[in-house]
Structure 1
Amino acid sequence: MTFATALREAAFRPRELFFDAGSREGTRALAREIFLMDAADYAAAFKGSAITRAKLWMLKRNACVVLGNVGTDENLAVLEAMLVHDHEIVREHAAWSMARLRSSEAR
């Protein structure tokens, strides 16, 4: 017995930004894309979404954590760019992620 039906309401469809986020590489790509966003990109990508309650810098902090957990050494450059972010907490999380990636490289 199944209760699932095909999604009919367009408002509940996943945004294109999240289509590939189910895989590790998709998750890393989403984090890198968030790093590249400015305020206008953020507003356009999440218009009408509850996620806009979070500020862009908060998503960038979370993206740092994501890369610290599932990133590779290829992500060090984008994390390094976050070391000069306006918000201290983003800088701290970028440094944490970089240290974590570097320590896993040594293993």
Structure 2
Amino acid sequence: MRALTLAVLLAVAAMPAAAQPEPGDARAGLRLAATWCANCHQVAPGGPGPSTDAAPTFRSIARMTSTTSMSLRAFLQTPHPSMPDYRLTREELDDVVAYLISLKR
């Protein structure tokens, strides 16, 4: 009986954790992006875009196979010469990432 109990416990421990919802508010992320990012990016599908094609649309960023919550967080927290350094708060970062991830659907 002990062996069976141990086997069940080990099997349960090896199972992936239940999916946790991502932090952040996608609607707030859209508002932030419209304020800060729309000068260079088209932030909403079908929405107004910048005057040049220099920066990808948010939808094209979201649909890249390499785009994950983690990759977006790393990118947005690393200074890039072609992007302003907005120094997002944790909540703002969560919101912008939630918005970008929502565009994958």
User: Same fold judged by TM-score > 0.5?
Assistant: no
User: Whose relative contact order is higher, 1 or 2, with alpha carbons under 8 Å and at least 6 apart?
Assistant: 2
Which structure: larger Rg?
2
More helix by share: 1
Task: Report the TM-score, using the length of structure 2 for normalisation.
Answer: 0.28
Task: Report the TM-score, using the length of structure 1 for normalisation.
Answer: 0.28
